[in-house]
Structure 1
Amino acid sequence: MARDIDTGTDDLLARVEGNVGIITFNRPERRNALSDAVYDGFDAALPTMAADPDVRVVLVTGNGGAFCAGGDVKQMNDANQAGGQRAGRPAGLDDGINHLRGLQRKVSLALHEFPKPVIAALPGAAAGAGLSIALAADIRLAAERAVLVTAFANVGASGDFGGSWFLTQLVGPAKARELYWTSPKLSSAEALELGLVNQVLPDDGFDQAALDYCRALATRAPIAQRLMKENLNRALTCDLATALDAEATNMVRTMRTADHKEAALAFVEKRPPNFTGT
């Protein structure tokens, strides 16, 4: 049975279904463009889901056929034409920089460092900062109709929410530069070939297929998954010796869990294991 999590806004919805936490961009009339309320919603939902032992996997998706169009360009233009700052945004350069740094930590950094697997399900377009947020997830599933585009060059902006870092990790520095400077619209098939998405699923039944993927992942050993993510995140920035030492620590810890003992017994008894997160 599903239960809602209060995000403080209708722009971003959150709920728990079984062992899956679901976060949904909910501005379909703006193709789920970002808003200040969305950032605050992530800041409310993610810590709640991290602390909830029932949540083993988090799914991030969007309503209305899009994932997230990134920054609200219409709102940006309205503010520009009015000759002022957007409401609630600091006017000074340094204050503006610090404000954006804080927003990025609430979303992209929080998703990247979240202690459980995060799956982004793209039912349609992921553009600009919306693409950056999708790239902050651990795994991306795309509908056949999905389109991915960096988009920043199209609005004369340099990019935010970690897209430059995530793209460089995924496709290498030269391809990342090409994707930022030329901003091509990538089909789901092209994104799969580049390694930007892990799977492409049919448009029909996409939402259910993405949820089923997360439910299957949630049946696996939670402690092992958390420590795997620690290892894999650390590998992005550390040397081999540091990685080996950390792997040894986490391996010994997982081998002493009840879940490991259950898995070994289930293997001998030729049955699926029942992981409890202990």
Structure 2
Amino acid sequence: MTEEAKIVVLAYSGGLDTSCILVWLRQQGFQVVAYLANLGQDEDFEDAKLKATKLGAKEVVVEDQQLELVQDFVWPAVSADLIYEDRYQLGTALARPCIVRGIVRLAVRVGAGYIAHGATGKGNDQIRFELGCHALCPGIKIVAPWKDPAFYERFPGRQELFEYAHTHDIPVPVTPKAPWSIDANMVHISYESGILENPSTHPPEGIFQLTTDPEEAPDTPQYLTLTFKAVSWDLRDARIDTAEGSTP
């Protein structure tokens, strides 16, 4: 394996999973380049960059993709009134291909042979990341720890991840009492894992970030009016031809 092929670009969020995965990848012999997208979420990006560096990342890239997200994904979706099965808001789904663009751009720049993500084998994100990477850069290989027996047999649950983080001095933003993960961008936020896996569970007190807890909200209605003006944008050909060294 060449030195370049041992480089992996990790879709990094700074949460429990990807922080542990960063260290685990290094233990597998990879040089890890961490990629964190600024999509307008409320986050201390400098702190996240410092954390990834301390965990051993060869390079940490924080890219501002806010304009790209709105122009190429959010605006076309809003224009098309795009809602999956008439009820599923596509906040995460719109952001993932935008992130993939950035990851692939970085992988081409650093000559990485692999791209890694922290999505599990039971959800949609594995498809969004992997098909997006294959479409933009067919020669890239995917490392998906949560589908690798060497990883998921060692970490059958989040408790084992907490223990691993503690052993390797990995600071994490979640605790065993609040083990949910949060995905956020400028237009969306969602929560999952832990007690939230049970559909009958009400959101715990204090979990709301972009909105007020309905129990604490005023009972006076407010109205929000959105006005759209004519906007045009260029559809971009995002496919990458690695032979020519082009980028999306």
Question: Does the TM-score normalized on the shorter chain lie above 0.5?
Answer: no
Greater RCO (CA < 8 Å, at least 6 residues apart): 2
User: Greater helix percent: which structure?
Assistant: 1
